[in-house]
């Protein structure tokens, strides 16, 4: 039986789009797929728990496993002998909130990168694609050089300024895309323009208003550092990060469709515009909270999703939770390296992630035939 020429004409453009632009269709999981993925997730959770414990020990002042066990036991009321006050403060006030913050921020950035790569159909997308990081940095710097930052609530002021700057940059992005829509290429180009605008504003404010000491401190913060992490900031991230992951996971089927293009997603009954807007807002919120807390940390959202896809596959219902675990483990160990490599001097985490991310970025370009 010969095919209807009109049906072939209708299907041929879609077939070309899926074959050329879209990633290959996700493989169907067999009967052992569920247990295998559950085992992989459990292994990732155990690695994360071990990484948090090991990361709490690492630093300019080493904390032994016995001391760590005593600190945990005393705080949990297990009857163990408490540590000396100085060592207990080192574990609970400095190390543990810092390591937990690294895990939460790493999970947030990895999830944001996974979502953006599907929404924009761009394998090189990461959470800083929207210019939100640059907006957050500009807001934080603007608050830091004003007289308000000299009050006792300096940390709260910088965090609030970063959040306002992130929302302003995202609002500008939406205004610029209002007429053209959320097209993949336009999102990328407009995000780059918005990011460059707020980066220029940050430099202008620093050059015009900040003194040498303030400039040095803000430059260190802009490079990304877990040193300012405290329990109140950890609590905020512990609320926002799971909510963002849950929102992305509920949109997993839509992300699978969007990875094949807006037309394919619409043919599957997905509200493309509404879903894209929801996911972009979620990404902006997660990124702004991360930047407001620990500064700008790049490449986590770029390199982690690509590595996880090799193990967990392209289905976003499976990919998202595994990416969150991998991002958390990655940033915990990156922060540990930043503390220990040149102790007692500390390297900004963003420098370490850039040194690791640039060669992997070039590897992605080479695999895509663009280098």
Is the separation of the CB atoms in 145 and 221 below 8 Å?
A: no
The sign of the torsion formed by the CA atoms of 353, 356, 359, 362 equals negative
pLDDT of amino acid 368: 64
pLDDT of amino acid 28: 43
Look over the chain and give the mean of its residue pLDDT values, rounded to a whole number: 80
pLDDT of amino acid 40: 84
pLDDT in tens, 167-222: 888 889 888 887 776 666 777 788 889 989 998 998 888 888 767 777 777 777 78
Percent of the chain with pLDDT over 90: 23
Average pLDDT over residues 328-336: 94
80 pLDDT tier (thresholds 50, 70, 90): low
pLDDT of amino acid 36: 75
pLDDT of amino acid 100: 95
Residue 279, pLDDT above cutoff 70 = yes
Distance CA(156)–CA(78), nearest Å, equals: 35
| Range name among 109-118, 151-160, 246-255 with the lowest pLDDT average | 151-160
Is the separation of the CB atoms in 351 and 296 below 8 Å?
A: no
Residue 4, pLDDT above cutoff 60 = no
Q: Which token pair is 321?
A: 């939770």
């Amino acid at each position: 039986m010969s095919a209807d020429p009109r049906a072939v004409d209708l299907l041929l453009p879609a077939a070309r789009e899926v074959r050329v632009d879209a990633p290959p269709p996700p493989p169907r999981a067999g009967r052992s797929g569920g247990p295998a993925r559950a085992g992989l997730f459990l292994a990732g959770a155990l690695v994360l728990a071990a990484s948090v414990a090991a990361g709490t020990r690492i630093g300019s002042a080493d904390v032994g496993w016995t001391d760590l066990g005593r600190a945990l036991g005393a705080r949990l009321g297990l009857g163990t002998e408490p540590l000396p006050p100085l060592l207990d403060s080192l574990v609970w006030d400095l190390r543990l909130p810092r390591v937990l913050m690294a895990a939460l921020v790493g999970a947030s950035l990895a999830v944001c990168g996974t979502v953006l790569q599907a929404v924009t159909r761009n394998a090189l997308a990461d959470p800083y694609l929207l210019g939100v990081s640059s907006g957050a940095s500009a807001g934080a710097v603007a608050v830091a050089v004003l007289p308000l930052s000299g009050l006792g609530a300096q940390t709260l002021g910088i965090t609030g300024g970063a959040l306002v700057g992130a929302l302003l940059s995202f609002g500008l992005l939406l205004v610029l895309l209002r007429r053209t829509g959320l097209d993949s290429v336009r999102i990328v180009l407009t995000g780059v323009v918005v990011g460059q605008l707020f980066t220029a504003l940050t430099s202008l404010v620093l050059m015009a208003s900040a003194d040498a000491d303030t400039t040095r401190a803000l430059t260190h913060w802009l490079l990304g550092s877990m040193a300012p992490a405290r329990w109140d900031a950890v609590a905020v991230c512990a609320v926002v990060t799971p909510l963002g992951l849950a929102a992305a996971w509920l949109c997993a089927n839509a992300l699978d469709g969007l990875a094949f293009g807006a037309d394919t997603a619409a043919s599957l009954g997905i509200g493309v515009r509404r879903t894209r807007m929801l996911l972009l807002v979620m990404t902006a919120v997660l990124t702004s909270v991360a930047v407001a807390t620990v500064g700008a940390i790049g490449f986590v959202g770029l390199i982690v999703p690509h590595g996880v896809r090799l193990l967990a596959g392209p289905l976003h219902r499976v990919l998202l939770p595994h990416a969150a675990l991998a991002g958390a483990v990655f940033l915990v160990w990156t922060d540990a390296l930043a503390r220990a490599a040149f102790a007692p001097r500390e390297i900004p985490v963003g420098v370490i992630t850039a040194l690791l991310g640039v060669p992997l970025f070039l590897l992605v370009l080479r695999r895509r035939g663009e280098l």
